[in-house]
Structures are given as C-alpha cells and as structure tokens.
Structure 1
C-alpha cells in the first residue's frame, strides 16, 4: 500500500492515446460508478502512477472515461504495483477536493486481505503500532521499523485479525489506521509473518509446494464519505491467483465464507 496521495493533475496534462484493447481492459475493471466517483478493481502488476516506460499506468488509462473536452477522473489514492483491489477516482474537481480532504482527515476505512507465513500470527488478532522510517538503497525506497525518537520516524498503526489459518500459512484481514508506504508489508514482517510473495521484506516465495505468483495483498474493501452525502462501501472479490493459493493451502473455508469482508 502507499500513503502518499497521487500527484496533482496539472493543467498541461493532455489526453493519452490508448489502444482499443487498453480501453476495453480498463473499462472492464469498473466495479462501481456514479456521477461523482468511479471505482475500479486494480489487478496486480498494473502501476497506479509513474509506471515503467512504454507501459501505460492506470492513471493514464483513466482517459478512457474522460468526457469530450474534460479531464480524466482523478485518482484519490494509490495501490502498490503488485497489490490488487479497490482503487477510487473522482469524476469531478469538487468530488476530488471533497474526497482528498476526507482522506487527509482519515475518514476512509480500508480493509485488506493478505496471505502470511509461516502459520498463524501470535496473537491471532491485535494492533501493530510501530514507527517506520524511509531508507533509500540505490534507487529503491524501503521502509524500516525504527525507534519513536528516530529523527525520521513516522507513526504507523495497523489492526489485524486472522480469518483462517493452518500450519503453513494464514489469511489475515488488515485495517491500517495510518497510510505509510509499505506499512502493511513491514508491520507484518515485524510481527514475524511477512506477506507471501514479498521478496523485499522476507515473504515466503513458495507455499503448498508451488511458487507464490506475486505479493499476496488485496485491497478488499473501501468505505468513505460520498461527495453527494452518506457513506459508501465498495468491495472487490479476491482475485483468481490468490483464491487458488488459499484453496491449495486449505484456507478458503466452506463456500468461501472465510473470505467475506
């Protein structure tokens, strides 16, 4: 996950030329839309912004939803490239302003699911409240646990609970109360249960006798104040690769009930 709000859309931004396949692809990601907001189920492997050269990011592909002569929807938050799940955009400038202020005021409620290893966290549920600091290794940014009095310390708080567990791995639900870069990944590694597939922070690369396909972190639900009033909750189903891993590990439950958020 990423704590930083997306970069501001500048007036000089111009529409990106998208292929028909890209337009169909991004429109197929929509899980909710109305006059004010548009929510998508981002797949793992797609950068929210600032992606690698020659590959369009989700932010760029939002031009597929732009009305003639208007700006594209604006990202309200980001997900790491290898994290799947709910990502929210605003269709209008007033909606973007409203949602941006609500996010800064911590009125968003984010729910993630992750496969961790080895085994069930101890305790099975609790709160991780450990400061983090940023560290650069070459061109790569890492987050590290640090003492509260470290000059670069940032407060970080994550609530978690175990949804299903076995001897090899567990499925956990995560609710971050702050939004630091890589917060969930580093907090779970600090707990001794790094997220499966997270090579950067020590996650298991094989489970159930097979390779873990990617970082097993999914933004399952997002609850936020809607610009038109009231509160909206949007959910994204567990992706196929994660569901297959849970099935292989015996963590899927009866009829998927363990996966409900």
Structure 2
C-alpha cells in the first residue's frame, strides 16, 4: 500500500498520534511498528516530525507510510446491533445476552467486532466506554468521537451518571431494612477468590460495593428487582444479591440455576442524554406495569 495523506477529522481530534494511526490502519499494523514509524520520521504531521503521544488537531495532514496489510480474513456475517440512541458524539446499544463486550480467547464475535463492521467507513471507530458481563443484556454506551469516548470514560471513572438494572431473583424478596422510600441499601466489600478452579467474587473484604434495591413485584416464587449501582465492581449485583439468599435466575456461577440469566442494564443517565431499553423476557417475567413502577421510583 502506498503512502497516504489523511486529514484529521473533528471526531478524531484530541487523540494521541499513535492511537490515531492505529485506528486509521484498522489494527493491521502492530503498535510496535507504528511507534517505529514515528521514531524513524516516516510519519509526518503537516510535513513536520512528530512524537507518538502528540495530540492530533482537526485539519492536520498526517502522512502514513507505505505498509503491507495482512491478507483480509473471510468476513463473518454479523447481525447489526440494536441502536437505542445516537448523535455525533455518543452511541447507545441494546447488547444482547451472550455477546461479549470485547473479543478475547474463544470469541470470534463481540460488541467491538460488530461496531467495527457497522461503522467501517467512519474515520473514528466507536468502541464501548464500559462493559457488561457476557450474559447480561441491556444498555451499553460507546463514543462516536474522541471527545465522546473521553467524556464517557471520565463520567464512569468519577461515578457520575445513573445506572439502573432489572434483575429477576429466586425467592420472594424480603427485607426488614427497607427505607421509607422503598429502597434497600446493599453495602459490602468484594474481592476475587479462586474456588474449585474458577474465579469468583465473594463478600467479606476488598473493595467497597454499594447498590440500592427496590422490589417491583413478586412472580410466583421469584421477585423482579430494580437495582441502582453506585459503584461498578466485577459481578457486583450478582454477588450482592446471591450473598443475601436471592441469586439471579439463570446465574449458575452464583447459585441461580441454569437457563438464560435474567439481569438487564435497563437505563443509563448521563449529563448529555438518557438511554433506556427493556429486556426481551416476555410477559411472564416483565410487564409494562413493572416499567411504569420503575420509572416512578427513579432516584
């Protein structure tokens, strides 16, 4: 491939040069090679030498040296993601259960892969700003520009914004410590431990975990809960509910039995927009009256 001269778009402005280049070559060149390009002066910004961590600006002309791209792999047909909110900086999707947020060993499909496919012609490739467990469905946010990606990352890092989940748990929810507003506060310390060859999160010591829980109604021997996260620990909701005797239906890792796990990220509130979507569980587990009640009790 011959040398290219590309113009930095408004969506790409503010990124480090090395990251800008990685995105522009679609990951076909390893970072070590990109860094070597820059050190040797093969990359030029507005015809001048540059450094890997310089921030690119809108309108700058960047020279990308000739390189050989790997032979393109056979394209995998992937179902498009359900978009529930989109503007020039932000994107919200309804992640289906069973789909990893990011690829990894043993996974040839993920949210990242599908976004790359859906936005293949965009200079800035959207990427998730946070994660949902593979078997958790619901709202997942991504940045459509460097500005949007950084704003979302900063928001989650600072604990701002509201994150609400719907969880169907085994047993009838009972708590004598529910406040006057109907919410029960869960405070725990969580840490990772290995049990029987597998890693699990357990309560007792470690990092602080805080979530608020509200019962939306009983369904036979199960209860539908609205959970607001105040911290974002690994498997937090699953562990905190299970440790109190209310495992999430289908959560085999924490005592909820087999089948599809009934945990759904229902609503995320940001300073710029609100993204909300209901799970596809069917009327046996979730009805409109439950959603109406959840909206009434938002914190």
Category of TM-score, reference length = shorter chain: 0.7 to 0.9
1:126 is aligned, of 168, 184, 188, to 184
Shift of 1:102: 1.3
Query: Is 2:275 the counterpart of 1:234?
Result: yes
The alpha carbon displacement at 1:136 in A equals 3.2
Q: Normalization by structure 1: what TM-score?
A: 0.78
The 1-side partners of 2:197 and 2:22 are apart by 28
Instruction: Report the equivalent of 1:114.
Output: 167
SS of equivalent residue, structure 1 residue 26 = coil
Deviation of the 1:214 alpha carbon = 1.0
Give the C-alpha shift of residue 182 in structure 1: 0.3
Task: Identify which of 285, 289, 298 aligns with 1:257.
Answer: 289
Write the mapping of 1:98-177 to structure 2, written as runs, cut at 5 A.
98-123=151-176, 125-137=183-195, 140-147=198-205, 153-177=206-230
Pair member with larger Rg: 2
- For structure 2, which runs of at least 5 residues remain unmatched after alignment? 1-17, 28-71, 295-299
SS in 1 for 2:253: helix
How far has the Cα of 1:120 moved from its partner? Answer: 2.0
Shift of 1:112: 0.3
**Structure 1 residues 157 and 12, CA gap change in structure 2 (3 angstroms):** same
With over 3 angstroms needed to count, the CA separation of the structure-2 counterparts of 1:179 and 1:126, relative to structure 1, is same
Say whether the 8 Å CA contact 1:18–1:64 is kept in structure 2.
Answer: no
1:218 to 264, 267, 272: 264
> Counterparts of 2:107 and 2:230 in 1: how far apart (Å)?
35
* Superposed counterparts of 1:71-82, under 5 Å: 71-82=124-135
| CA offsets 1:53-82 (integer angstroms, 9 cap, x no match) | 352211121112436361310211110000
> What root-mean-square deviation, in Å, do the aligned CA atoms of Structure 1 and Structure 2 show?
2.4
- How far has the Cα of 1:18 moved from its partner? 8.0
Retained in 2: the 8 A contact 1:222–1:235? Answer: yes
Q: Structure 1 pair 20/196, CA: closer, same or farther in 2 (3 Å)?
A: same
Partner of 2:282: 243
Q: Does 2:80 match 1:26?
A: yes
C-alpha contact 1:117 1:204 (8 A) present in aligned 2: no
How far is the alpha carbon of 1:119 from its aligned partner? 1.4
Unaligned runs of 5+ in 1: 1-8, 148-152, 206-212, 227-231, 247-251
Q: Contact 2:184/2:213 (CA < 8 Å) preserved in 1?
A: yes
Tell me how far apart the structure 2 counterparts of residues 203 and 73 of structure 1 sit (CA, whole Å): 34
* Aligned pairs, number: 224
Q: Following the alignment from structure 2 to structure 1, what is the Cα–Cα distance between the partners of residues 146 and 202?
A: 36
| Contact 1:31 1:39 (8 Å CA) reproduced | yes
Alpha-carbon distance in structure 1 between the residues aligned to 2:74 and 2:91: 19
1:192 Cα deviation from its structure 2 partner: 1.1
**Residue 18 of structure 1 contacts residue 61 of structure 1 at CA under 8 Å; is this kept in 2?**
no
